Amino acid sequence: MTKIDLNKIVQSRTPDSFNSLPQDVYIPTLAAAFLLNRRAQNLTKKTLDFYRMNLEIFITWCEAQAVKTIEQITPELLRAFFVAMSETHKPGGVHAFYRTVRVFIRWYALE
């Protein structure tokens, strides 16, 4: 699996370019927009790093499942992701992924 570098995506995009994204955008592009939004909200570096790290793992896992767009994310896919994470992480770590993915999807729904 190829690791996604959300920093590079954020740095290569301008704020105006996020507003013209079609609905069927790639998850990494949306994640970069999400991180830019959170940075604009003046979240701490630690919080931004937490979101970035968890989203990179989520995106890498999604791409391994051939899931590339937000519309392909289903409840079943999310359950499979959390089960997969529970095989290598403690319950608190799985909950960290849950919190990150939840806030990311809620942000997308409100955008």
Mean pLDDT of the chain: 87
More confident residue, 22 or 85: 85
- In Å, how far are 11, 12, 88, 90 from 28, measured between CA atoms? 13, 12, 23, 26
Q: Read off the pTM.
A: 0.80
- The whole-number pLDDT of residue 28 equals 94
DSSP secondary structure code for residue 4 in this structure: P
Query: Is residue 84 pLDDT above 60, yes or no?
Result: yes
CA atoms 85, 6, 19, 42: torsion sign = positive
- The whole-number pLDDT of residue 111 equals 86
